[in-house]
C-alpha cells in the first residue's frame, strides 16, 4: 500500500473558454471539478493504474466535502483529518484558441495546533503499514516549515520509506531527515544546492550531490527531456517520446506515482523510471488537471528510452 499526504488539498475548478478577452465579459464553454493537491493527484494516478493507495491530509467545509465526493466517484480511498476552516479552491482557466493556461491558487486554510496533532496521531496509527509514504505539495498557514522533516523522521522510525516532493524551504528542511527519495525539477534543485545547473552533466552531478546529502534516490525532472535518477549504485536517464502537450498540470505527480508503484514492490530503479516517465508523459495528453489514463500509459511505456549513465 502507498499512502499519500496532502497538507493543502484543493478543489480545482477547470474553466474552459474559447478566446479569453481581458476586461470583457467572457462565457465559459466547459467547467470541470477535480480533487486537487499534489499528494491527492499521486493517489488518483496510482488508483488509475490499479495500485492500492490511501490519501491523507486536511479537509474542511463544503468544499472539502465536495472533494471527498469526487474521490468517492473515482474510487480513491482517503482518511482525512477534519479541520474547522474551508478547504481552498483553485481555478485553472484554459483558452482553447491560444492553448494558454492561467492558474489562480489560494493560500489555504489555517491549521490549528490541535488539528495538526490529530493529523500526526492519524499517521502514527496507519494500518496496515504502507510500503511507501508520498508527502508532497505546499503547506497551509499554521503548519510549521519543518513538517516534512517530522513526517520523514517519524516514518523512518516505523520502517516506512518516504518520498518527498516539495520545494524551497519545505524541501530544504525535509531532506535533512534523509527521505528515501526526492524529485525536484532543475529549478528546485538549483534552489536546494544554491548553484546553476545548466546542462545534462551538471544535472548528473546535482543528483549525485543530493544523494550525498542523505537521500537514497535523487531524481531530477527535466520536462520534455525526461528525468535523471541517481543512487549510490547507479545513474539512470529516462527520456519520453515526443507528444503533443495539452496540459502539463499534474505530470510531475503522475511521474511520482509511477516511481512509487514500482519502488513499493521493490522493483529495479530503471523500471520505476520507465513507468514514471510513461505516466508523466500520458498526463500531458489530457486537458486541465485531468491526469494520466491507463490506456495511454500502456501505449507510451515501450516508447520510453531508458539507459544507465556514468558520472564521468
Query: Which among 275, 273, 274 is positioned nearest to 294, based on CA atoms?
Result: 275
23: region left, alpha or beta (phi > 0 left; psi from -120 to 50 alpha): left
Identify the active-site residue in 12, 41, 165, 253: 253
137: region left, alpha or beta (phi > 0 left; psi from -120 to 50 alpha): left
Which stretches of 49-182 are DSSP H helices?
A: 61-74, 113-124, 147-157, 168-174
CB 270 within 8 A of CB 277: no
Query: Which among 129, 133, 127, 168 is positioned nearest to 153, based on CA atoms?
Result: 133
C-beta neighbour count of 79 within 10 angstroms: 14
Host H or E run for residue 167? none
Write phi, then psi, for 50 (nearest 5 degrees): 65, 25
DSSP 8-state code for residue 243: -
Helix (H, G, I), strand (E, B) or coil at 94: strand
253 is catalytic: yes
The grid cell for 157 is 522510525
The residue behind cell 516517465 is: 277
CB 43 within 8 A of CB 9: no
Helix (H, G, I), strand (E, B) or coil at 244: coil
Query: Which among 217, 209, 71 is positioned nearest to 132, based on CA atoms?
Result: 217
CB 36 within 8 A of CB 10: yes
The grid cell for 270 is 530503471
Partners of 81 in beta bridges: 58
Residues with active-site annotation? 253
Amino acid at each position: 500500500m502507498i499512502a499519500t499526504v496532502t497538507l493543502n488539498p484543493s478543489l480545482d475548478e477547470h474553466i474552459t473558454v474559447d478566446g479569453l478577452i481581458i476586461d470583457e465579459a467572457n462565457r465559459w464553454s466547459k467547467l470541470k471539478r477535480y480533487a486537487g493537491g499534489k499528494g491527492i493527484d499521486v493517489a488518483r494516478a496510482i488508483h488509475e493504474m490499479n495500485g492500492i493507495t490511501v490519501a491523507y491530509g486536511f479537509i474542511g467545509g463544503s468544499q472539502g466535502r465536495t472533494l471527498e465526493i469526487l474521490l468517492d466517484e473515482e474510487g480513491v480511498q482517503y482518511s482525512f483529518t477534519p479541520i474547522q476552516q474551508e478547504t481552498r479552491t483553485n481555478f485553472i482557466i484554459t483558452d482553447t484558441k491560444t492553448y494558454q493556461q492561467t492558474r489562480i491558487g489560494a493560500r489555504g486554510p489555517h491549521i490549528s495546533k490541535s488539528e495538526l496533532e490529530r493529523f500526526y496521531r492519524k499517521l502514527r496509527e496507519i494500518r496496515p503499514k504502507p510500503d511507501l509514504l508520498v508527502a508532497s505539495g505546499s503547506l497551509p498557514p499554521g503548519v510549521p516549515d519543518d513538517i516534512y522533516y517530522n513526517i520523514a523522521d517519524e516514518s523512518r522510525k516505523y520502517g516506512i520509506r518516504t518520498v518527498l516532493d516539495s520545494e524551497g524551504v519545505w524541501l530544504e528542511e525535509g531532506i535533512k531527515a534523509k527521505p528515501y527519495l526526492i524529485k525536484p525539477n532543475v529549478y528546485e534543485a538549483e534552489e536546494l544546492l544554491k548553484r546553476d545547473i545548466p546542462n545534462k552533466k551538471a544535472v548528473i552531478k546535482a543528483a549525485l550531490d543530493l544523494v550525498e546529502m542523505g537521500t537514497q534516490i535523487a531524481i531530477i525532472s527535466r520536462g520534455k527531456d525526461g528525468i535523471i535518477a541517481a543512487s549510490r549504485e547507479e545513474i539512470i536517464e529516462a527520456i519520453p517520446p515526443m507528444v503533443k502537450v495539452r496540459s502539463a498540470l499534474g505530470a510531475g505527480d503522475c511521474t511520482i506515482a509511477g516511481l512509487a508503484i514500482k519502488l513499493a514492490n521493490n522493483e529495479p530503479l530503471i523500471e520505476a523510471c520507465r513507468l514514471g516517465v510513461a505516466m508523466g508523459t500520458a498526463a500531458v495528453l489530457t486537458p486541465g488537471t485531468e491526469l494520466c489514463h491507463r490506456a495511454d500509459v500502456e501505449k507510451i511505456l515501450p516508447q520510453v528510452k531508458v539507459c544507465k549513465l556514468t558520472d564521468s
